[in-house]
Amino acid sequence: MRILANDGISQKGYNALKEKGFSIITEKVDQKNIIDYINKEKIEVLLVRSATKVGKDIIDSCPSIKVIGRGGVGMDNIDVEHARKKNITTFNTPSASSTSVAELVFTHLFSMTRYLFDSNRKMPLYGDSEFKKLKSNYSNGKELFGKNLGIIGFGRIGKEVARIAIGIGMNIIVHDKFISNSNIELKYFNGDTKKIKIKTVSMDTVLKESDFITLHIPKSEDNPIIGAKEIGKMKNGSGIINASRGGIIDEDALMFALDKEKLSYAGLDVYNNEPKPSIHLMMHNAISLTPHIGAATIEAQEKIGLELAEQICSFYNIND
């Protein structure tokens, strides 16, 4: 049974599959050559992350494929519906990277409110000659404690964001069109736990009452979820973070709102045109930027690899 992990797999995931008798290929195959490669090597399991696209062409042209696994949360780079019509099993790893993505959200939040994204650019250039000026420029930072954090999308990652927010004293306001009530469990360092019931509210309430908004929803096939209309409803001087999917925010509307100081800052890990995002967005002086690294931690990659291995073994009825 041959597996192509085209976007890589953690060593722990690799070892777990190897121990069960699978042959795992981690060589990166270019998108234009992948169909020929799969057919030549008689690949049964194709594992991808966000880099490899698995569309109808691959699904229709590669009869040996039985399983397509996505190491991560979203499945927008896989034609899941068509795969299922062809009786190909598809799955992802929705829980493995939740903590890593949630922590990146707060990396951006702290970076935004204390202007680290800008000071880290300016200090190497002007720190020795304009220290006092830079100190003055960054003297109006904000504490997160006591602020309202709006969470749009309350799945696994949204809940993890809420746990961290509560831990640092933020008030959370949640919208999810599929959930009206939900429970989250806080786990303390000494083993104690506490359950908190969360009641979701309307999108308008989140937009109007939040000091910061973070998005954790799948990409829509239609218009962006956050466009000029939605930004117009947000608090003046508020901020927004997208570590979910590119296309959820109208990037032109976002830059316009930042230029006009309707919004003070934004934090982006995902972009409309990956891997070639807008240069205007990249150069904007009010945006904290990362290159789609939400799940890019050692811990998340280990968990993703192990979860992929578990699901593959389950498909082949290989038990411990």
Active site members: 245, 274, 292
Cα 105 to Cα 9: distance, rounded to the nearest angstrom: 24
Q: At what angle do helices 98-113 and 156-167 cross, to 10 degrees?
A: 50
CA distance 24 to 5: 7
**CB of 183 closer than 8 Å to CB of 197:** yes
Any idea which residue has 């070892």 for tokens? 15
DSSP bridge pairs for 68: 46, 90
Gyration radius from the chain CA atoms: 22
Q: What residue has token string 């925010």?
A: 249
Continuous segment of H or E residues that includes residue 23: strand 23-25
Contact 103, 164 (CB under 8 A): yes
| Residues 170, 144 contacting (CB under 8 angstroms) | yes
Query: Taking a C-beta distance cutoff of 8 angstroms, is the pair 71, 305 a contact?
Result: yes
Tell me the Ramachandran region of residue 271: left when phi exceeds 0, alpha when psi lies from -120 to 50, beta otherwise. beta
